[in-house]
Amino acid sequence: MITAEHTSINKVQYFNGLNEKEQDTQDTMPAFTPTTSSLVTESNVMTQETVGKPFVKSPRMTCREVNVWYDDKQAIMDVNIDIGKNQVLAMIGPSGCGKSTFLRCLNRMNDTVPICRVDGEIILDGLDIYDKKIDVVPLRAKVGMVFQKPNPFPKSIYDNIAYGPKIHGLVNNQTELDEVVEYSLTKAGLWDEVKDRLDQPGTGLSGGQQQRLCIARAIAVRPEIILMDEPCSALDPIATATVEDLIDELREQYTIVIVTHNMQQAARVSQRTAYFHLGKLIEVGITDQLFTNPSHQLTEDYITGRFG
């Protein structure tokens, strides 16, 4: 462990002096040279270190040595990654590799799975979110989530959006609430479709509409970080485009982590991309670089469609 800390300090030093605003591509560390891998191999043959640039200069969240188990089956192994401020991080990888699992660690959604155990530290605003003193309620208000399967509340469309702001006391009166609902639905590209039927059940919408409703619900509480698990898997190209525009727009204020199976989408919306494989974080890099010039063989195999 001491070795790990040591290396991470070294890595951080790399970035001092880099201009944060100087476009996303430069906002990351330089790629690890292949020698880094060999360096790790020296210390521990069994540990496979992430290649690429998992760390950024001023991260919004930092994840160190994250391990996740379902019972005694390990789903995430020794993941170290930073989530940059006001940028989109895409997570890709074959089905079952642990993308959702890792994403759900970021707002402690895994607490709801009794057999799930999380180890390591995930730091947000200087505090470990897995610390015993941390209350998950403000954490989840700050780190919003859109789930893989659309899951609107079996209430009216209006109530779906209004629920979050109401329980957090974000609005003072009905007009404000109405505004929040309209704003959120508009942002999610759903307003025109539902503005005449706000009192109808959210479960009565189509799958794609439901997914956008869930996105609207997530942004209605004005989170600082939004986690999206395949938000466009059920959407048509037009709706997908709307959501992608939304993501792009949101990036100015929010930090976004998105899981996707669609590599074009990852390329379109994200600034950095992380590639997971069998529970390990194989490679992280600036999106363009990772797709055009992957450093790891597994990444290359995946993005060229050889498997996964």
Ligand X SMILES: Nc1ncnc2c1ncn2[C@@H]1O[C@H](COP(=O)(O)OP(=O)(O)OP(=O)(O)O)[C@@H](O)[C@H]1O
- Beta-bridge partner residues of 284: 52, 274
Site string for other proteins, 243-272 (x = CB under 8 A): ------------------------------
112 binds ligand X (CB under 6 A): no
Interface ranges with Mg ion (CB under 5 A): 100, 148
Q: From CA 269, how far away is CA 89, in angstroms rounded? A: 9
# binding residues, ligand X (CB under 6 A): 13
Closer to ligand X by Cβ: residue 12 or 263: 263
- Please report how close the Cβ of residue 148 comes to Mg ion at its closest, in angstroms: 5
User: Considering only residues 37, 67, 151, 186, which one is a binding residue for other proteins as defined by CB under 8 A?
Assistant: 151
Stretch that binds other proteins, among 47-55, 64-72, 125-133, 149-157 (CB under 8 A): 149-157
With b for 16 or more beta-carbon neighbours within 10 A and e for fewer, the 129-166 pattern comes to bbeeeeeeeebbbbbbbbbbebebbeebbbbbbbebbe
Q: Are strands 116-124 and 127-128 parallel, antiparallel or unpaired?
A: antiparallel
Q: From CA 205, how far away is CA 189, in angstroms rounded? A: 14
Closer to other proteins by Cβ: residue 145 or 303: 145
Binding partner of residue 97 among other proteins, Mg ion, ligand X, none, CB cut-off 5 to 8 Å per kind: ligand X
- Window 62 to 101, contacts with ligand X (CB under 6 A): 70, 75, 93, 95-101
DSSP 104: H
Residue 245: Cβ within 10 Å count: 13
* Angle subtended at Cα 297 by Cα 1 and Cα 286, rounded to the nearest 5 degrees: 75
- Please report how close the Cβ of residue 240 comes to other proteins at its closest, in angstroms: 22
- Beta-bridge partner residues of 62: 82, 123
137 binds other proteins (CB under 8 A): yes
Look at the block and give the residue holding tokens 């525009």: 245
- Please report how close the Cβ of residue 201 comes to other proteins at its closest, in angstroms: 5
Do residues 266 and 35 make contact, with C-beta atoms less than 8 angstroms apart?
no
Site string for other proteins, 176-215 (x = CB under 8 A): -------------------------x-x----------x-
Q: In Å, how far are 38, 121, 219 from 225, measured between CA atoms?
A: 35, 18, 10
- Please report how close the Cβ of residue 209 comes to ligand X at its closest, in angstroms: 21
Binding partner of residue 98 among ligand X, Mg ion, other proteins, none, CB cut-off 5 to 8 Å per kind: ligand X
CA-nearest of 154, 146, 110, 284 to 225 is: 146
Binding partner of residue 194 among Mg ion, ligand X, other proteins, none, CB cut-off 5 to 8 Å per kind: none
Backbone phi and psi for residue 156, each to the nearest 5 degrees, phi listed first? -70, 160
Look at the block and give the residue holding tokens 């188990």: 69
Binding partner of residue 123 among ligand X, Mg ion, other proteins, none, CB cut-off 5 to 8 Å per kind: none
150 binds ligand X (CB under 6 A): no
Do residues 301 and 68 make contact, with C-beta atoms less than 8 angstroms apart?
no
CA-nearest of 300, 140, 263, 232 to 273 is: 263
- Beta-bridge partner residues of 121: 64
Site residues for other proteins per CB under 8 A: 107, 109, 112, 114, 136-141, 144-145, 147, 149, 151-156, 159, 163-164, 167-168, 201, 203, 214, 217-218, 220-221
Site residues for ligand X per CB under 6 A: 70, 75, 93, 95-101, 113, 115, 148
